[in-house]
Amino acid sequence: MIKTKLAILMGGRSAEHEVSLRSAASIIKAADKEKYELILIGIDKKGRWFLIADQSPFLEEKYPESIEYGEDNAVVFVPGEKGKVEGLKNKNISFNVDAVFPVLHGTFGEDGTVQGLLQLVDVPFVGPGVLGSAVGMDKDAMKRLLRDAGLTVAKCLVLEKGVAPTPKFADVKKELGDIVFVKPANLGSSVGVSKVRTEEELSLAIKDAFRYDNKIIIEEGITGREVECSVLGNEKPAASAVGEVIPKDDFYSYNAKYIDENGAVLKIPAELSQEQIAKVQDAAVRTFKALCCEGMGRVDCFLKENGDVVVNEINTIPGFTSISMYPKLWEESGLKYSDLIDKLVELAKERYEKENTLKRDFN
């Protein structure tokens, strides 16, 4: 069997750098070594790209402190050369990859920037393209598209740095209710997210969120069960089983998602009626389509007591760690982790072939 040369792209210039390394480690362990030649490419926090020759830190879970990049291993993708990678200094580094699995959470990875680069270097890649990634990342743009598609989303106020004065909590409360969440518009994994009940908390939360983004949202707190559904596919996406997150703290924080295995109870499958499951799955697929996504996405919703489903957000490169919902929900649906990787790579190649049938010139 000719192995697929699969580049795992990890790290990145994001507050979610470490999360990315954890996700990459799980994929490296699970990928079928009979099918894939895994090539590890790490992006450091300065945005420099390196070939990672030693996979042992990921297999032994001794990352990120044990990863050695090394200036001699700096690499670039060569535009127009169908996935060609070359060393910047070490001219002995030169090879082509068949596909790329970007495991880059957050800015400069999940927001369309890397997706655009991978299109330019002419290589299939896992996950949504530029448009789906960009609108899925921006919570403000995402909400507008979802509302236009007839989906229910939480009400919010949008603040841009330096454009308007900080609102008073009394005014926010009148508009959105007693409890609100302050979030960077373009970030995930609960980084920079705060639950707010007072004027003092609002001021501190806004200041913290603006550390990560120039646009933030203040969102109404929704009372309901936190449910998640994984979506997989291109033109005909399918929904997985539905899971429920029951946080031990006030909300599903960064620590509970990626570090503390006891930070939340993940119920897979969620204890829901068939009608409730169908509603969540329908909302997940409609969200995926409305945001022009392909490949994969995890849709997070609130299920209210009256049965209404409120879409919270989509994660276009969801967590792939050993405790992450996206792969766990597909395992519950009968698709084991290694087969999920196969399917995602297959979908990436399928989209690439379809796009290459388009006419690109006027001759």
> Is residue 13 in a domain?
yes
> Which pLDDT tens digits describe the chain residue by residue (363 residues)?
799 999 999 999 888 888 899 999 999 999 999 999 999 999 999 999 999 988 888 888 777 667 878 889 999 999 888 999 999 999 999 999 999 999 998 889 999 999 999 999 999 999 999 999 999 999 999 999 999 999 999 999 999 998 988 899 999 999 999 999 999 998 776 788 999 999 999 999 999 999 999 999 999 999 999 999 999 999 999 999 999 999 876 655 555 555 555 667 889 999 999 999 999 999 999 999 999 999 999 999 999 999 999 999 999 999 998 778 999 999 999 999 999 999 999 999 999 999 988 877 766
> Is residue 139 in a domain?
no
Contact 186, 138 (CB under 8 A): yes
Whether 9 and 121 map to the same domain: the answer is yes
Residue type, 216: I
Q: What are the contacts of 70-76 at 24+ separation with CB within 8 A?
A: 74/48, 74/49, 74/50, 75/41, 75/49, 75/50, 75/51, 76/49
The CATH number given to whatever domain includes residue 44 is: 3.40.50.20
Whether 212 and 261 map to the same domain: the answer is no
Whether 230 and 346 map to the same domain: the answer is yes
Count of domains for the chain: 3
Whether 212 and 235 map to the same domain: the answer is no
> Is residue 147 in a domain?
no
> Is residue 310 in a domain?
yes
**CA 122 vs CA 2, 91, 99, 104, 313: distances in Å:** 21, 22, 10, 19, 30
Domain boundary among 86, 110, 125: 125
Give the range of the structural domain holding residue 48, as residue numbers without chain letter. 4-125
> Is residue 132 in a domain?
no
> Is residue 149 in a domain?
no
> Is residue 54 in a domain?
yes
What integer pLDDT is reported at residue 259 of this predicted model? 53
What integer pLDDT is reported at residue 61 of this predicted model? 77
Whether 243 and 212 map to the same domain: the answer is no
Whether 215 and 240 map to the same domain: the answer is no
What integer pLDDT is reported at residue 326 of this predicted model? 96
Distance of CA 20 to the CA centre of its chain: 10
Whether 213 and 336 map to the same domain: the answer is no
Whether 349 and 234 map to the same domain: the answer is yes
Contact 237, 285 (CB under 8 A): yes
Whether 104 and 66 map to the same domain: the answer is yes
The CATH number given to whatever domain includes residue 174 is: 3.30.1490.20
Whether 198 and 273 map to the same domain: the answer is no
Residues 6+ apart with CB under 8 A from 291: 128, 132, 135, 136, 142, 145, 146, 297, 314
Domain boundary among 181, 196, 220: 220
> Is residue 103 in a domain?
yes
Whether 10 and 103 map to the same domain: the answer is yes
Judged by phi (left if over 0) then psi (alpha if -120 to 50, else beta), residue 106 lies in left
Whether 263 and 298 map to the same domain: the answer is yes
